[in-house]
Every structure is written in structure tokens, then in C-alpha cells.
A and B are shown apart, each in its own frame.
Chain A
């Protein structure tokens, strides 16, 4: 379980995340939604110790993230942020292999190679594994980074806007893959999403943030409702049930 207690982040005097206490239970897919500047990404990067907290504490399986040694945490929790620009000329396979670093310290064993093969297969990157990252399209590169995070083989997988800059085809593929990771591999997946319809169709839990605070938390049935979403986004919204999925309409 991921547990945050009174987590806050302030830049100078401006509170970006304000006293957030949430529990994300093991298993399933949890989406974090909310308007721009609500503090979604900041919260995610504080949970994954990329950004230091101004106040509060975060525990992952009872381990305080500020006191747990880096390698120990890296075997339990993986984080992928939006911008992953590297100056290195790496092949896809080299990048994925880095996911084994917390386990092997960079000395790859036979078992590590199997994990790498499996992650590459899981993301459907076999054909590209010897290609260099800078030769790939944005969507393929994104998949390569997700493969690295999968190869890290952690219980918790945190992704910050994994659908950014990829087309509909790849976005659906990515969400299906994360769903499968939760269902088949029993991973706990936490994603920050902008598209609330993706959140509606794929999540078990939704955390809705507004102005640095958690406004709502619940199942898609509880959150994907006209009055709730209108409140979060300050925009009139209608929710329709289409083919068994709750779809939000707000375009005009």
C-alpha cells in the first residue's frame, strides 16, 4: 500500500500540493486526474522521491521513502516521468537492460537477460530492440521507456502522463498494456491522466485533484458523474453510458 500523510509542496510561498493524505491499496489501476496545475504530477513525483516534500510523509509498504535506501525502494517502486531526453546513443535493448540495475548493480546475469527479453516482448518491441532510441518515433520511444520500467519488475509502477504525445492507436495500446500488467502480473499501477475517458474506461480507482488538494477519490462509478466532474473542472459536463462504458461529453 502507498500511504501519504499530510504531504505538501511549496515553491517559495506558493502551495502546489496542500496537505494530501491518501491511500492507494495494492493491486489494480489507479488514475490521478484534475485540471492543469492541480498538483497531480508533483504529488506523483513526491511519492516516488523525485521531488522532496515540504511537509508530510510517504510510506510504501510501511517503508518511509525518505529513510529507505535507494536500491531497496527501486526494487519495489518504479517511476516514469514525461520527459526522458537522453544525450546517449542507446539501443532499445540497452535502455531496457538498465531496468535491471537495482537488482544486479549493472552486472547482467542469465536471469536478467530473461527479464529483458520478457519486457521487450511485453511491449512488442522485438523488431526494434537493436535500433537506437533517436531513430524511433515518439510513441515507440515511450514504449521503450515503459519496457525499462517493467523490466525493473517492481510491485508499484507509477507513470506521469504516459499518453502524452502519442496517437489514439498507441494510447489505447498503452492503456490496455497497463491494464494487463495490473490484471495478469498483479502490479499496482498509478497513472496521471489528462483524458478523463481513458481514466473512466480503464481505472479501478480514480483520485481527482483540484488546487493542490484531493477533491474526490473513488471508483469510476462514483467519480465519473456529471456533477462531480463539473465541479472538478469548472465546466458543464455530461456523462453518458455507451456500450457499458461511462463516457464524458464536454466539447460544446
Chain B
């Protein structure tokens, strides 16, 4: 059960494009000495690679365990939830107790809190009590809006000078990457992707639905809980680095399904990451070096993702 010829071609093409984007990002328009370029562009590149990895994997896995191709963790407001947790946590870091904590431990604690809340929300929304995809999307939108407003409110009430991620919380920004969290993020993302790749066959079975998965011997509840933890962690990493992105995950996950034409996670998982790299880094190269435009890339990506979202919804309504 490999890929079709078309799938192989498209996947190879995406891989080449991704590699080209990375090379272009590092080598185009170099005017100063290489040591500086490697350090300056290298760290930004690494951050964007991490974002691509996290968003691609988290969205594909989320869509697998919720059995649909429209809902994403971002649409359910999980990334804004991280922003809210981060904003509220600043209160704690301001006290005597929290002052001595290094940034990495703060991040880990925030991720733990965010993941726990996300898991509770997920259990509540997906235990069968909320029926229908449209209801879930509506709840997600309202939840996301609520988290965002709460985060903005707390940011205004508490000392605004302490906000590092908070700046530009409404839209992702790839030129202002939070580099302090790069290494802890890298470690977590590598661990999570290794785990997901290890579980790729179980993910294939999970996408057949709860009943079939249990019939085939998958410990459903345990598996879904673990995967939700991984999704929460990946989403936190991406949001901490560049900020929340509403439609980016939707865009790359559906690109991955289209590219591979396969249901197997051994193909869709890497394809989603490659597609995300092409969108993020390729887009950056295109805008910064080839077009020399000041247009914010995040806006354009969100626009494309938004159009796709509406198209998917309309198709869903028709069926």
C-alpha cells in the first residue's frame, strides 16, 4: 500500500521545494559576513522549521482523532488558550515565588497547564454530548474569541511591560520570533514527532473511527489522551515562538492530503511538515528577497487558509 505515481511525484516536488526554500532563505542577498548570517538567519530558520513541524503534525493528528478534515486545534481556540495561560502566568512570575524560575521551566509549567485545560475541553466537547461538526466549529470560534479577549484584558490590566509573547498576540509574526525558547521547543518537538512517527500505524487505525479502532484492539481512550497531550504541546511550542495562527494548520493538513492522496500517516505526517515548510519559509523567501514586498506573510497565509476553510465548509454543506 504505497503511494500512487502521482502521490510520489507531488511529494518529491514538495520535498525539493522545501529544500530549495531552506537554501534560499540562508543564501539569498547575503551582504555581510557568513558567521553573522548563519547565526542570525539560522536561528530564525530553526524557529520557522519548528513552527512548520508543530503545526503540520498537530493538525493532521487532531483531524485523525476527531474524524474530520475541517476542524483544527487552532479553530478550536487551543493556541489562543496558550496565550491566555501565558498571560495569566505572568502574574505568578511577578511574585517573589516566581522570580527565580528560569524561562525554560516557566515555559514547561505553562505548557503543562495549557495541555491539561485543553484535554478537559477536548473530553467535554468530544464525548458525544456535542453533536454535529457545525456546532463544534461554532463552539470553537466562540471559545477562541473568549480566550483572546480574556488574554487581551489581562494584558491591559497587568503590567504591560512584561509581555514578551503578548506583543502581536492577535496575528503571528515571523520577523519577531521568540528565540529564548528555541532549544526547549526543539527538544520537545523532536520528542513529539518521534513519538507520532512511532504511532503512525495506530493513527491509521484511529482514523477509521472509534468503534472500528476498539474492535481492532487499539486502547482508544489511552491513545486519544496521549495524542491530545502531544497536540497541546506542539501547539504551545508554535504559539510561543511566533504567535497564534488560525488557518495555517488547516491549509497545510489539507495540502498534505491532496499531495499524498493517501490515508497513511507515514505519508501524510511528513507531507504536512514539508507543505508547511514551503508555505512558511518559501513564502518568506518569496516576499523578502524575490518580491521585496513589505506584505506580512502571516496575513497572506491566513487569507489562503481562510478561503480554503470556507470552501471546505460549503462543500460539507452540499454533501
Contact = CB atoms under 8 A, between A and B. Distances in A.
Interface of A: 48-50, 69-75, 78-81, 84-90, 94, 97-99, 101-102, 105-108, 149, 152
B299 to A, nearest CB: 30
A94 B217 contact: no
Contacts of B207: 86-88
A48 B214 CA distance: 9
Contacts of A79: 211, 215
Contacts of A81: 211
A84 B212 contact: yes
A5 B80 CA distance: 49
Nearest to A81: B211
A106 B208 contact: no
B219 A70 contact: yes
Given A105-B201, A106-B201, A106-B204, A86 B209 contact: yes
A87 B69 contact: yes
Q: List the 5 closest pairs (A to B, CB-CB), nearest first.
A: A74-B217, A106-B201, A71-B217, A70-B217, A88-B263
Contacts of B1: 94, 97, 108
A83 to B, nearest CB: 8
Nearest to B201: A106
Contacts of B201: 101, 105-107
Interface string B116-143: 0000000000000000000000000000
Contacts of B208: 86, 88, 98
A80 B209 CA distance: 12
Contact of B217 (A80, A101, A107, A149): A101
Contacts of B211: 50, 79, 81, 84
B100 to A, nearest CB: 45
Interface residues of B, number: 22
A9 to B, nearest CB: 15
A101 B223 CA distance: 16
Contacts of A87: 67-69, 207
A4 B248 CA distance: 50
A95 to B, nearest CB: 8
B216 interface: yes
Contacts, number: 67
Contact of A98 (B67, B69, B205, B210): B205
Interface in B209-230: 209-212, 214-219
Contacts of A84: 209, 211-212
Given A87-B69, A97-B1, A70 B214 contact: yes
Nearest to A102: B217
Interface of B: 1, 67-69, 201-202, 204-205, 207-212, 214-219, 261, 263
Contacts of A89: 261, 263
A71 B222 CA distance: 14
Nearest to B257: A89
A152 to B, nearest CB: 7
B263 A74 contact: no
5 contacts: A48-B215, A71-B217, A74-B217, A86-B209, A88-B263
B209 A73 contact: no
A149 B205 CA distance: 14
Given A69-B217, A88-B207, 14 more contacts: A70-B214, A70-B217, A70-B219, A71-B217, A86-B67, A86-B207, A86-B208, A86-B209, A87-B67, A88-B263, A98-B208, A98-B216, A101-B205, A152-B215
A167 B211 CA distance: 25
B168 to A, nearest CB: 35
B255 to A, nearest CB: 16
